[in-house]
Amino acid sequence: MMNADGSNLIQLTHYKSIVEVPSWSPDSQMIAFASDMEGNRDIFIISANGAGLNRLTDLPQEDFYPSWSPQLGFLETSLPEPTAAPESVCVNSEDSLYGFSPENPIKIGFDPRDEGATESACLPWLLGPQGQAITISLLDEIRVNGSKLCKVSVTYEDQDTADILYFDVFNFEQPKAPRGYTCGSPLEYLKAITAALY
């Protein structure tokens, strides 16, 4: 680190390893960088005075090019908390198109390809009209209004034809059960909320 004119040169790191692609935090108090000082290349942060070294990643892949999020107001806003009734995890939608239209998708769910899970994990809190377990087949991934939607085929016992549902994997809200479906286990709902938040 140094002054803009090149004076007052200060060495912040003293490691016999690669230390590269530094990125200053928006408040100029921290620096993120990539390094292989602990074997695999990971992302680290250090304060501008050289103190407080911390490793942020610990993955088998090589991690490069750290970048700080800009100062955005929504990051300081509390995330909404679920407000489900004790006996259920969601409410029944009064909109006949809810979940059946790309313009009106279910707002909680996650892409099993991102989670390494089976397709049944897409909407784990949703059940058939009499509480039947549902079977989900992932049909397509589409983009609508800047969000990624998953198009799925949903079936349950005694159902004549499969339903086609859409859900948004980027956004979430207190979920509603589409027409013909009911809400399942509060535990599975909380798992889905956790996946959406983290």
Q: Percentage of the chain surpassing pLDDT 70? A: 76
pLDDT band at 86 (very low <50, low <70, confident <90, very high): very low
What is residue 82's predicted lDDT score, i.e. its pLDDT?
Answer: 41
CB-based contacts of 194, cutoff 8 Å, min separation 6: none
Closest CA to 80 of 174, 16, 191, 7: 174
Q: Looking at the predicted structure, is the pLDDT value of residue 119 above 70?
A: no
Which structure tokens are listed for 137?
A: 């087949």
Phi, psi of 20 (to 5 degrees): -145, 175
What is residue 60's predicted lDDT score, i.e. its pLDDT?
Answer: 81
What is residue 80's predicted lDDT score, i.e. its pLDDT?
Answer: 47
Residue 104 to residue 75: CA distance in whole angstroms: 25
- Give me the chain's average pLDDT, please: 79
What is residue 127's predicted lDDT score, i.e. its pLDDT?
Answer: 86
The mean pLDDT of 60-85, rounded to a whole number, is 64
Q: Looking at the predicted structure, is the pLDDT value of residue 88 above 60?
A: no
The mean pLDDT of 70-94, rounded to a whole number, is 58
> Cα dihedral angle (15, 19, 25, 29), rounded to 10 degrees?
20
Residues 134-186 have pLDDT tens digits of 898 889 888 888 788 889 999 988 888 999 999 887 777 777 889 888 887 66
Residues 23-36 have pLDDT tens digits of 998 888 889 999 98
Q: Looking at the predicted structure, is the pLDDT value of residue 92 above 60?
A: yes
What is residue 99's predicted lDDT score, i.e. its pLDDT?
Answer: 93
